[in-house]
Structure 1
């Protein structure tokens, strides 16, 4: 009878050490995501559009594009990054419309290409892409963050989007 209790003690100690190890590892992991990027999944962020090639015309276009994307009744949050050739439009769909996400994505891309025929759009409803876009947008606010780094990061986000499709 004493042997069974000793065995249970070892099992309890093992699980205690295992759970403390998991807590330690997750608590000490270095997470470089910005505060806004972390909250992007929980709440509406509606970040201002980011423009990698800063001109007044590009900023005005990006603001107009942001308002246009948010005018869709199914969409409640959007992050836009305008590059030299491509414009990334990452958005979040209202919960009741999640079953139609692919249809909404096709419809949005079609309407954007029709309204703005001189631009190339990369449209995504994927949360990972949305968070990456918000994070890049936050980094662009830092004056020490170089445009070259931003352009490389933008290319990585576009590549990630292409891999997911």
Structure 2
């Protein structure tokens, strides 16, 4: 009788622990969500700068293999982070090569860092969110952008 009670107790505790819902909602499909971050320039926000990064974003978004693009322009570099559609993940190197080729041909004077890495994309979106805060300085943002670029270079 005692073994049966212990067994029932363990089964109930296991079921209660398995049904625990501590995870934040939406974690399971975060890779599939589209955030559509606006392209940003850390430098002066002149019409020419905004047109440039807007055009870059449109050019990269024109690839049917992609579904979300983030463009950040710093003093010297432009970070282009994107998410690849699930069934196209087998062709990621080919997609990145096509994007780099298009950007080099269309904007030869710019220095691009192109990444399909999800962590780089998340860091770029987080930086864009931080830039909405008026207390977040452009020097701090440029430093963070350089850290993201360094992280990208370490990953390759």
Q: TM class, shorter-chain normalised?
A: 0.7 to 0.9
Does residue 73 of the first structure (1) align with residue 61 of the second (2)? no
- The one-character-per-residue Cα deviations of 1:112-154 (angstroms, maximum 9, x if unpaired) are 0111000111001111111111111111111111112211211
Aligned to 2:115: 124
Q: As a proportion of its length, which structure holds more helix?
A: 1
1:104-123 correspondence to structure 2 within 5 Å: 104-123=95-114
User: More relative contact order in 1 or in 2 (CA 8 Å, sep 6+)?
Assistant: 1
TM-score w.r.t. length of structure 1: 0.77
Name the SS for the 2:152 alignment partner: helix
RMSD between aligned residues: 2.7
Moved over 4 A (4+): 2-16
Q: How many residues align?
A: 153
Does residue 54 of the first structure (1) align with residue 44 of the second (2)? yes
Structure 2 unaligned spans of 5+: none
Structure 1 unaligned spans of 5+: 28-38
Q: Is the 8 A contact 1:76 1:94 kept in 2?
A: yes
* Equivalent-residue separation in structure 1 for 2:119 and 2:64 (angstroms): 22
Q: Is the 8 A contact 2:92 2:116 kept in 1?
A: yes
